Amino acid sequence: MSKKSSASVQRVREALTAAGLDNEVQELAASTRSAVEAADAVGCDVAQIVKSLVLKGATSGELFLVLTSGGNRVCLERIKNLAGEEVAMADAGSVRERTGFAIGGVPPLGHLAPLQALIDQDLMAHAVIWAAAGSPNALFHLTPEDLVRITGGTVAVVAEGK
């Protein structure tokens, strides 16, 4: 007997379909909350995992979706320059309110309100990448080009040490 998908995972499936993608959402028994766990679960390199971080502008209060390669750490100074203001990690309540998803499962699409997306250029080096699908144990694969298309995001250097 299969377990019924959560409303969050179902919303991601619907958003994928609306975006013209027929990519399968995989719900796994193992946690995919961290990039290492996600890579282990689907058998890929950690660099192919899309980490979703939501940062909040200090002045505007706007939320920014930073999609970075699983092995990278985001450089807040770079994000500040791209966003045009100081940024810090958004609190869990703000993330859920604007995206409809809890931290640990924020996908790149299907949000309640649009967020400006910044995409790590390192993700563009892979033929296939894996992103969160609305829960801490759900993922879907896509191409970097599809990630840019579905988010309307800007590809940039966002990692430390680059």
Look at residue 162 and tell me if it is in a domain: no
Per-residue pLDDT reduced to its tens digit, 64-82: 999 999 999 999 999 999 9
pLDDT per position as a tens digit, 2-42: 456 789 999 999 999 999 999 999 999 888 888 999 999 99
Mean pLDDT of 45-71: 97
Residue type, 146: D
The CATH number covering residue 94 comes to: 3.90.960.10
Tell me the average pLDDT across 83-89. 97
Report if residue 70 sits inside a domain. Answer: yes
Q: Which two tokens stand for residue 60?
A: 């505007």
Domain contains 18 = yes
* Residue indicated by tokens 């993700």: 123
2 belongs to a structural domain: no
Query: Do residues 132 and 99 make contact, with C-beta atoms less than 8 angstroms apart?
Result: no
What is the Cβ-side half-sphere exposure of residue 72, based on CA atoms within 13 angstroms?
25
Q: Is residue 149 part of a domain?
A: yes
Residue 30: per-residue pLDDT: 83
* Boundaries of domain holding 135: 7-156
In a domain, 64, yes or no: yes
The domain total for the chain is 1
Assess if residue 109 is contained within a domain.
Answer: yes
Would residue 24 count as lying in a domain? Answer: yes
